[in-house]
Amino acid sequence: MVNSNSERPAGGSSASPIPLGGEPPPRFIIKSEDASEGIVRLRGAEGHHARNVLRLGRGDRFVAVDGRGAEYEAVVEIRAADGLLGKVLRTTRRSREPLARVTLAQAVLKPPSLADVVSQATALGVSEFVLFECARSARREVTAREISHLESVAAAAVKQSLRAVLPKFTGPKTFGDVLAYGHGFDVAFLCKPDAAAEPLADAIGGKKAAPGKILVAVGPEGGLDAEEEERAADAGFRTLDLGPRRLRAELAGAIACALIFYAAGDLGPAGRGGG
């Protein structure tokens, strides 16, 4: 399991960490190659936003993340024509990432609803989205352009939530693909009403020994059909019951992920020191 609290001061700097309370400095997403030898470069759309919209200048602090876990606290030194150059004051890795690596397999929804799912689940800490088609899917097509839009939605949520890792997108897949994919996880869940479902904390091993990789599958607006639910049970998926009230599909995924992170110790007081 990855230690999400590891940090490495850049160049022996004793700069104090960014406080968890109060207003943090603006955050930007960069490519890994844009940070080297104690210098971080903001360019492209992020550089334009920093230089021309936020009007950051020499001495202003900002944070750059590479989407893979590295987080650079830096101070502006040069306003370049295509962005900014900053001196790295402090480097951390995965400082706010959850210990549990949660993948959300979401049946395709209408575009606004799917974007809501991505935004909410990314902010909670989901590391991967698998989009899939099933018998009751409202639509069967997810274009490359829409995936690009969802990646942009996720990037905005990463910055807003102070994360440092961009989630991965896969799909659209078939439901059978999702069932096969579940074999690579420590535990896989299917969201469906079931008052007799195993307690979540027991299913993932409790807060002290939560597994590293968890998959949770959420169906479309009309839910999965009986055959699909039976196939999931045969494939080893456990039931995650979200309570007696009927939830909209775009809300179910966020609630399922929140419950899992809480049971794994990544939300609430128990999780504040861990990621």
pLDDT digits (tens, 9 = 90+) for 35-71: 999 999 999 999 999 999 999 999 999 999 999 999 9
Mark whether 154 and 87 lie in a shared domain: no
Q: For 117-129, how does the pLDDT look when each residue is reduced to its tens digit (9 = 90+)?
A: 999 999 999 999 9
CA-based nearest residue to 254, from 59, 122, 149: 122
Phi, psi of 113 (to 5 degrees): -65, -40
Region 136-158: mean pLDDT is: 89
- CB–CB of 88/198 below 8 Å? no
Mark whether 46 and 109 lie in a shared domain: no
CATH number of the domain within which 17 lies:
2.40.240.20
Mark whether 76 and 184 lie in a shared domain: no
Residue range(s) defining the domain that contains residue 228? 101-271
pLDDT band of residue 15 (cuts 50, 70, 90) is very low
Mark whether 59 and 81 lie in a shared domain: yes
- What pLDDT score was predicted for residue 167? 97
Region 192-210: mean pLDDT is: 64
Decide if 2 is inside a domain: no
pLDDT band of residue 199 (cuts 50, 70, 90) is low
3 pLDDT higher than 60: no
Q: Quote the tokens at residue 114.
A: 């799917």
Return d(Cα 24, Cα 159) in angstroms, integer: 11
Decide if 225 is inside a domain: yes
Region 171-193: mean pLDDT is: 92
If you average pLDDT over every residue of the chain, what do you get? 84
Return d(Cα 14, Cα 92) in angstroms, integer: 13
Q: What percent of the chain has pLDDT over 70?
A: 83
- What pLDDT score was predicted for residue 142? 84
Least confident interval from 43-57, 127-141, 153-167, 199-213: 199-213
Last residue of a domain, one of 39, 73, 93: 93
Least confident interval from 4-8, 59-63, 131-135, 216-220: 4-8
Decide if 1 is inside a domain: no
- What pLDDT score was predicted for residue 264? 83
Residues 6+ apart with CB under 8 A from 164: 65, 66, 67, 68, 69, 70, 71, 92, 93, 94, 95, 96, 97, 158
CATH number of the domain within which 131 lies:
3.40.1280.10
CA-based nearest residue to 181, from 227, 213, 209: 213
Mark whether 149 and 260 lie in a shared domain: yes
pLDDT band of residue 200 (cuts 50, 70, 90) is confident
Q: Taking each helix axis from N to C terminus, what angle separates 111-124 and 144-160, rounded to the nearest 10 degrees?
A: 40
Decide if 219 is inside a domain: yes
Mark whether 185 and 251 lie in a shared domain: yes
Last residue of a domain, one of 70, 93, 116: 93
Last residue of a domain, one of 93, 114, 130: 93
Mark whether 120 and 162 lie in a shared domain: yes
Provide the pairing of β-strand 83-93 with 101-107. unpaired
DSSP secondary structure, 216-236, as one string = EEE--TT---HHHHHHHHHTT
* The CA-based dihedral angle spanning residues 134, 138, 144, 145, taken in that order and rounded to the nearest 10 degrees: -160
**pTM of the entire predicted model:** 0.81
84 pLDDT higher than 90: yes
Q: For 210-250, how does the pLDDT look when each residue is reduced to its tens digit (9 = 90+)?
A: 558 999 999 998 888 999 999 999 999 998 888 788 888 88
Beta bridge partners of 27: 63
- What pLDDT score was predicted for residue 11? 37
| Helix ranges restricted to H, the chain | 44-48, 111-124, 144-160, 175-181, 200-203, 226-234, 249-263
Mark whether 85 and 111 lie in a shared domain: no
Mark whether 117 and 225 lie in a shared domain: yes
Return d(Cα 129, Cα 150) in angstroms, integer: 10
19 pLDDT higher than 50: no
pLDDT band of residue 266 (cuts 50, 70, 90) is confident
Mark whether 215 and 257 lie in a shared domain: yes
Question: How many domains does the chain divide into?
Answer: 2
- CB–CB of 233/189 below 8 Å? no
Mark whether 61 and 117 lie in a shared domain: no
DSSP category for residue 52:
I
Mark whether 126 and 220 lie in a shared domain: yes
CA-based nearest residue to 84, from 75, 92, 94: 75
- What pLDDT score was predicted for residue 95? 78
